[in-house]
């Protein structure tokens, strides 16, 4: 598949041909189940959109039954920005229901397959976006990352995923999961395309009250693969990963050293609390955000005997098990008797995590971590929700701290890719893009 950079040089008739070819390829690889809808809108370079980003007149369902029948009345800010740059939304990508998951197994539309090994998960929750780019049936796509949902599926499929700094990309029009953690970002074939798409979708938006109005310089034209940095490694943190991941980590460190970067090993204490803090905060916010799906305002309704009964029937049949579990836990941790014990404590831990990263960024420009403690796993392998949550250990703290991070494939174990991420200071996407660009070039 041609890259985004190449596609952006095509004229209108070439773009039409490209789309024709793309439709055929999508049909050929239907078995991946990466697309849940083939809606198109506009004549620009086709970009696949995760099913939780609003595109005017499209059915947008967050991978859920409860949103069947809902048609979006407006464009998310990122979609308006795509259109302004002569890019256009093309197809809806499968995802875990309401972006809750790490494997895309919880979608109402069924699982998405990993194109590298059809028996394995593509990661999640943006599994459709990553599988399509890796499978050669999308030039580039948009995903969302609340606790790793761009970086981990990109890593599991062998493509590049960027989670921007919190506040850098507008969340206006993104179906909210956990509002203090969610960010939209690109999933692309390479680092340069990532920078190009990031430049297009980022920037201040008055429609999102958490959007930053700090200066937003273009990154793609300033990409510098030769710049040398101080890169922190966290060996005590990586020892919990599988042998393959540890080996890939060590090899990546060696490559970075050879490229002329200075490697500084740091310790990260208290990592065992990251998963608990993340899930308490994410579920608390989700329980509140999902209150709006009541069978009255959006999508599918199951008529009951009265209003309350309609709410109950619509929600009980419209949400899947994982979403219900999170709404229950979210309400529990916010309830008056437990608020201090769980929610307030989790917020304190979040503060400590942020401080922990601040300390590291006093001595290093970026941090190298794996995207997951193991290779892409088989379908059904993590049927215990807690095991699934624990697999997020390397990605979730970055969202809790609001930092930017980019994941890229660094090596292959058989046919399975290993992804690593570079994490940067807030609003310093340029540095991690430079680091990733240099690393990608060295690995070619």
Interface residue list for ligand GLN (CB under 6 A): 99-102, 125, 145-149, 177, 282, 392
Q: How far is the CB of 98 from ligand GLN (least distance, A)?
A: 8
Q: In angstroms, rounded to a whole number, what is the distance separating the alpha carbons of residues 19 and 26?
A: 10
Point out the catalytic residue in the list 107, 125, 314, 407: 125
Phi/psi of residue 91, nearest 5 degrees? 90, 150
Give the residue with the Cβ less far from ligand GLN, 90 or 389.
Answer: 389
Active site residue 258: no
Give the residue with the Cβ less far from ligand GLN, 97 or 199.
Answer: 97
Copy the structure tokens of residue 137: 């049936």
Active site residue 207: no
Give the residue with the Cβ less far from ligand GLN, 106 or 314.
Answer: 106
Q: How far is the CB of 146 from ligand GLN (least distance, A)?
A: 3
Q: How far is the CB of 321 from ligand GLN (least distance, A)?
A: 13
Q: What is the DSSP letter of 175?
A: P
Point out the catalytic residue in the list 103, 131, 141, 149: 149
Nearest Cα to 277, choosing from 374, 147, 369, 125? 147
Active site residue 180: no
Q: How far is the CB of 225 from ligand GLN (least distance, A)?
A: 28
**Nearest-CB residue to ligand GLN?**
149
Give the residue with the Cβ less far from ligand GLN, 102 or 107.
Answer: 102
220-244 per-residue burial string, b: 16 or more CB within 10 A, e: under 16: beebebebebebbbbeebbeebeee
Point out the catalytic residue in the list 5, 50, 81, 163: 50
Q: How far is the CB of 104 from ligand GLN (least distance, A)?
A: 10
Q: In angstroms, rounded to a whole number, what is the distance separating the alpha carbons of residues 223 and 323?
A: 40
Helix (H) or strand (E) holding 281: helix 274-289
Strand order across the beta sheet in which 416-424 lies: 35-40, 87-93, 45-50, 140-145, 183-188, 160-163, 405-413, 416-424, 366-370, 230-233, 262-265
Give the residue with the Cβ less far from ligand GLN, 34 or 253.
Answer: 34
Q: In angstroms, rounded to a whole number, what is the distance separating the alpha carbons of residues 175 and 53?
A: 6
**Catalytic residue list:** 50, 125, 149
């Amino acid at each position: 598949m041609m890259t985004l950079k190449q596609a952006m040089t095509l004229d209108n008739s070439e773009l039409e041909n490209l789309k024709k070819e793309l439709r055929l390829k999508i049909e050929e690889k239907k078995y991946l189940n990466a697309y849940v809808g083939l809606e198109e809108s506009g004549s620009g370079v086709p970009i696949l959109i995760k099913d939780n980003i609003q595109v005017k007149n499209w059915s947008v369902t967050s991978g859920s039954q409860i949103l069947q029948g809902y048609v979006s009345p407006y464009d998310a800010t990122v979609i308006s920005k795509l259109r302004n740059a002569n890019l256009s939304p093309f197809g809806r990508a499968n995802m875990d229901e309401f972006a809750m998951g790490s494997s895309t197994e919880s979608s109402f539309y069924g699982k998405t397959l990993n194109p590298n090994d059809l028996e394995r998960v593509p990661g999640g929750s943006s599994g459709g976006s990553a599988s399509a780019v890796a499978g050669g049936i999308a030039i580039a796509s948009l995903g969302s990352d609340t606790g790793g949902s761009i970086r981990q599926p990109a890593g599991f499929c062998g493509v590049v995923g960027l989670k921007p700094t919190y506040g850098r990309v507008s969340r206006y029009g993104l179906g909210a999961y956990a509002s203090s953690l969610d960010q939209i970002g690109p999933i692309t074939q390479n680092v340069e395309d990532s920078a190009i798409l990031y430049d297009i979708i980022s920037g201040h938006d008055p429609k999102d009250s958490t959007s930053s109005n700090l200066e937003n310089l273009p990154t793609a034209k300033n990409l510098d693969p030769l710049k040398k940095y101080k890169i922190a490694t966290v060996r005590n943190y990586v020892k919990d990963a599988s042998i393959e991941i540890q080996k890939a980590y060590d090899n990546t460190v060696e490559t970075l050293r050879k490229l002329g970067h200075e490697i500084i090993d740091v310790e990260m204490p208290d990592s065992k609390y990251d998963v608990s803090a993340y899930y308490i905060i994410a579920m608390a916010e989700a329980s509140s955000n999902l209150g709006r799906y009541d069978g009255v305002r959006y999508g599918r309704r199951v008529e009951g005997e009265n209003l309350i009964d309609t709410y109950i029937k619509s929600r009980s049949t419209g949400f899947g098990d994982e979403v219900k579990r999170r709404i229950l836990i979210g309400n529990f941790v916010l309830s008056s008797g437990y608020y201090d014990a769980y929610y307030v404590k989790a917020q304190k831990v979040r503060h400590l995590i942020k401080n922990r990263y601040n300390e590291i960024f006093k001595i290093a420009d970026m941090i190298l971590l794996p995207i997951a403690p193991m290779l892409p796993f088989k379908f059904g392998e993590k049927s215990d929700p807690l095991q699934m949550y624990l697999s997020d250990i390397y990605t979730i703290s970055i969202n809790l701290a609001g930092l930017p991070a980019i994941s890229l494939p660094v090596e292959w174990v058989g046919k399975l890719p290993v992804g690593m991420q570079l994490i940067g200071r807030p609003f310093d996407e340029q540095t991690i893009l430079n680091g990733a660009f240099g690393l990608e070039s060295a690995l070619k």
